[in-house]
Amino acid sequence: MRFTFLTGDINWKEYGGKFISPKQNNGEFDYWFLIDVMNADDHVDFEYKYIVQVTVIAPSMVSEEDKKSARDSWGDYEMEMTERMWIEVLSCYGCGLVPIWNGQGNNIAKLMKEAREKAMIGSSMFGFFMDRPVNMIGTTGWDALKGDLTAGLYYEREEVK
């Protein structure tokens, strides 16, 4: 899977950047994988230089209310939003992201290779990744794609006997 630069600094290895996969489709909606590279050197006292995260985002799954809120956080713009713009706005806002993998280390080439491999696995096993809980309250990837991170609070759970 080939990723292209989405946003960040031109010197992304030093200051971080975000990369986007080609459009994927699960039969019902389009989605993309994002690789987010953060350089932890300047930010925290951390034993590794890089933190890399792979997430999934599907702007069409996010509610119009959440999209409006995300867009308003960038300012009151009246321009036509492209899919790529929605991906950037929603990912920065933290809405509709599903974590697939994260890693840390000092070798960015190895981390990027592993991130691409995890995205390939995520593409072939998309439903399984979305079925699993993405936080400690039990919110599934399907709920997180819609921007509902508290959905796990409202599920009825079967008691274990």
Mind listing the pLDDT tens digit for each residue in 41-86? 766 677 899 999 999 999 999 999 999 888 888 876 677 888 999 9
**Predicted TM-score (pTM) of this structure:** 0.87
| Confidence band, pLDDT 50/70/90 cuts, at residue 103 | very high
> Which amino acid is located at 42 in the chain?
D
Domain boundaries, the chain: 4-154
Cβ atoms within 10 Å, residue 50: 21
Q: What's the rounded Cα separation, in Å, for the pair 61 and 147?
A: 8
Secondary structure in 3-state letters for 36-59: EEEECCCCCCCCCCEEEEEEEECH
Are the CB atoms for 129 and 122 separated by under 8 Å? yes
Across-strand partners of 36? 18, 53
Question: What does the pLDDT read at residue 3?
Answer: 96
| Confidence band, pLDDT 50/70/90 cuts, at residue 160 | very low
